[in-house]
Amino acid sequence: MRILALLPLLILLLFIVGSLAALLGQLEVTTLSTLLRDAEIRFAFGLSLATALLSLLLACVIALPAAWALVRLDLPGKRWINLLLDLPMVTPPLVTGIGLLLLLGQQGMVGSWWPALAQRLFSPLGIVIAQTYVASAILLRSASAALAAIDRAWLETAHNLGLAPLATFLLVEIPLVWRALVSGAVLALSRALGEFGATLMLAGATRMKTETLPIAVYLNIAGGDFSAAVGCALLLIVLAFLLLLLLHGIRPHAEEGRRAAC
């Protein structure tokens, strides 16, 4: 049994380590250093980071109140609302991008009466919209689970002390589960940084304009510049690894905080 259990683990590790080693083996240190000084790659890195951070901020503004409403309010059809809110996490990104384009484009329901938005989709604005869409769904689920785990006694005590619902949310609920919220935010940021399909459909793939790191990988592969594509891929891996370290540093404390809230 031990061998049967270890074999799949070894296969998974082989694929993960093997793919990383294959990427690293494609570039020499001098080549990588040259690529990192390239203006286009620096642009893609800066655009990815800026749009992902802005998208995370917008996702927090959207997802945290929405999570509170799902957990605290007795909404009609809550089961179906939850089902719909999970769709962005299971829908293929390209399909998501097509849907957003049809909604926000010049012929769409929103774009037809807001032409200024439709005309600016193929720009960093389109990137932010696509990233916010996918990041909000992830943060919403993390926040909902964290808020639902809070012991009702805390909320009743706050109510008895005369705190309004907004004050209770800001002063009691968020401090109790902030580590879990940060953990969800890290996952959402990671997903925003790696967003490709919806961004491609909604904002396009224009060099030095809507060129995030995933788009840069796509453009360089399509153009035959494999070294530049691998360089961009390695930057994404470094960012993902740093976020993973942060996530693993937060999660043990998040579990402690969740137990304290119960």
How would you classify residue 38: left for phi > 0, otherwise alpha for psi between -120 and 50, otherwise beta? Answer: beta
**Per-residue pLDDT for the chain (262 aa), expressed as one digit of tens each?**
777 778 888 999 999 888 888 887 776 777 777 777 889 999 999 999 999 999 999 999 999 999 999 999 888 988 999 999 999 989 999 999 999 999 999 888 898 888 898 999 999 999 999 999 999 999 999 999 999 999 888 888 888 888 888 889 988 999 999 999 999 999 999 999 999 999 999 999 999 999 999 999 999 999 988 888 888 998 898 899 899 888 888 766 555 555 555 5
Looking at residue 159, its pLDDT comes to 84
Looking at residue 226, its pLDDT comes to 85
User: Going by C-beta distance under 8 Å and a sequence separation of 6 or more, which residues neighbour residue 152?
Assistant: none
Looking at residue 158, its pLDDT comes to 87
User: Going by C-beta distance under 8 Å and a sequence separation of 6 or more, which residues neighbour residue 181?
Assistant: 64, 139, 142, 143, 146, 174
Per-residue burial over 36-45, b if 16 or more Cβ lie within 10 Å, else e, is eeeebbebbb
Query: What domains does the chain contain, in order, with CATH numbers?
Result: 46-203 (1.10.3720.10)
Looking at residue 22, its pLDDT comes to 83
Rounded CA separation 256/239 (Å): 27
Looking at residue 255, its pLDDT comes to 54
What tokens were used for 23? 């990427």
Rounded CA separation 60/71 (Å): 16
Looking at residue 26, its pLDDT comes to 73
Please, are residues 164 and 243 in contact by the beta-carbon 8 Å criterion? no
Looking at residue 2, its pLDDT comes to 77
Rounded CA separation 8/20 (Å): 19
Burial of 221: CB neighbours in 10 Å, binned 0-12, 13-18, 19+: middle
Looking at residue 104, its pLDDT comes to 93
What tokens were used for 42? 């620096």
The predicted model scores a pTM of 0.87
Please, are residues 163 and 171 in contact by the beta-carbon 8 Å criterion? yes
Looking at residue 144, its pLDDT comes to 94
Q: What is the DSSP code (8-state) at residue 6?
A: H
The gap from C-alpha 215 to its chain's centroid, in whole angstroms, comes to 16
Looking at residue 213, its pLDDT comes to 95
What tokens were used for 102? 């049809």
What tokens were used for 101? 């384009």
